[in-house]
Structure 1
Amino acid sequence: MKKLIIPIASIITVVLISSFVANSSKNELVYVDVNKLIEGYKRTKVEREAFSKKTEVLKANVDSLVTDWQSELKAYEKERASMTKKEKELKQELLGNKQQQINNYQQAVQKQVQEEDQKMTQTLINDINDYVQEYGKQHGYPMIFGAGGNGNIMYAEEASDLTDEILEELNHQYAGK
């Protein structure tokens, strides 16, 4: 009995999908290349440039702190011979604390950059998804598949690809904002 469940479920799924497609107002299976939409979307370039500038500033801040610390370390190494044991211990402790603070700051910056990158990417994807949904409604498509190279769509005729058309209109809409 258990051996029959998977084939029966598969048959039911195929029948349901077939009947959905047969009963649709527009019986066309179409898709868009999600990666191509993201890369070709003009807002992606604008957002990435702004993100890049922001990360460069954060990286410069970290680099500046590291450079200052390295200068202090070199100065300590030069003066170490003339310091008392107590002064050496104190300076080593201060340098160690500063290094730990820089490491903590660097990790916080990396986390912030990752979070902002994810947020930016999700915003772009949401823009595209909203537009594709509206496009599908306006043009009477019952379903628009998204191909992304991850196995969703293994093959489709080029005539079913709406990517360029949607990308052109998406960029036109963005330019109008």
Structure 2
Amino acid sequence: MKKSLILLGLALALFSCNNDKGTAASGFKTAYVDTSKLSKEYEAFKDLESQSKIKQEEMGRELDVKVQQLKQDYAAAQNEANAKGPQWAQLKAQELQKRERELGMMQEGMVKTLQDEFGAKNDSAVSKMKKYIKDYGKKKGFDYIYGTGDVTSSILYAKDGYDITEEILKELNSNYKGTAKEEPAKDAAAAEKK
């Protein structure tokens, strides 16, 4: 009799422990978002990348023209050096080296300008995305929304059913397209006031 009471007590204790764990684990509503997928497929990031490439190409064309002119001037100076003498060649070389340094500084300035402009825009897009995910989590009643991705990940494994990336991405892109259409209208209205 004592053995059966002890076994019954152990069974009840084990059952109550397992039951408590199930309740605690199921008491939280969690999900995760694949942040690397968001960064690749969110329209705001795609637009920023496209704008950056266009601006980089525009700036690059201006620099390329100056580099080509410098190369031509180097070639012309080499041809003239024999006729005008070593002193002229030395002065011309200093002048061309100065122009080369200026082009290097111009290139660095262009890179910094692009980094400043698009870094700030990228940070703004990331901030909007994080705010949206936070608001989404509140609206849908999530206790936690984790992030996973290529670089940093707070999830090593999760069932596919907890992945809300597609839903978030669809809504982010829908909202972005809506605000992108409104911005030109605001710009046009501002231009009319002037």
TM tier, smaller: 0.7 to 0.9
2:130 equivalent in structure 1? 129
Describe the SS at the equivalent of 1:77. Answer: helix
Please list the CA deviations of residues 42-84 of structure 1 after superposition, one character each: whole Å capped at 9, or x if unmatched.
1222221111100111111221111110010011111111103
User: Is the 2:29–2:142 contact (alpha carbons within 8 Å) kept by the matching residues of 1?
Assistant: yes
**Shift of the alpha carbon at 1:23?**
9.8
Larger RCO: 1 or 2 (CA < 8 Å, sep 6+):
1
Structure 1 residue 32: Cα displacement: 0.5
Distance 1:47 1:91 in 2: 43
Partner of 2:94: 93
**Letter of the aligned partner of 2:93 in structure 1?**
Q
| Equivalent of residue 153 in structure 1, options 141, 149, 155 | 155
1:120-149 deviation line (CA, Å, top 9, x unaligned): 332221121011011011111112111123
Q: Report if aligned partners of 1:38, 1:124 keep a CA contact under 8 Å in 2.
A: no
Runs of 5+ consecutive residues of structure 1 not aligned to the other structure: 1-18
1:110 corresponds in structure 2 to 111
Equivalent residue runs for 1:21-32 within 5 Å: 22=24, 27-32=28-33
> Shift of the alpha carbon at 1:176?
1.5
Aligned residues: 157
Aligned to 1:141: 142
Q: Provide the secondary structure at the position in 2 that maps to 1:176.
A: helix
Question: What is the TM-score when the length of structure 2 is the normalising length?
Answer: 0.73
- Over the matched positions of the two proteins, sequence identity in percent amounts to 27
Residue 113 of structure 1: how far off its partner (Å) = 2.7
Q: For residues 170 and 97 of structure 2, what CA distance do their matches in structure 1 show?
A: 55
Query: Which residue of the partner structure matches residue 51 of structure 2?
Result: 50
Partner-residue secondary structure (3-state), 2:143 = coil
RMSD of aligned residue pairs (Cα, Å): 2.2
Give deviations 1:11-57, integer Å, cap 9, x for gaps.
xxxxxxxx9x9499x62221101111121111222221111100111
Partner of 1:53, secondary structure, is: helix
Cα distance in 1 between the residues matched to 2:107 and 2:83: 33
- Give me the whole-angstrom Cα distance separating, in 1, the residues matched to 2:43 and 2:104: 36
Separation of aligned partners in 2, 1:85 and 1:35: 59
Q: Which amino acid aligns with 2:144?
A: M
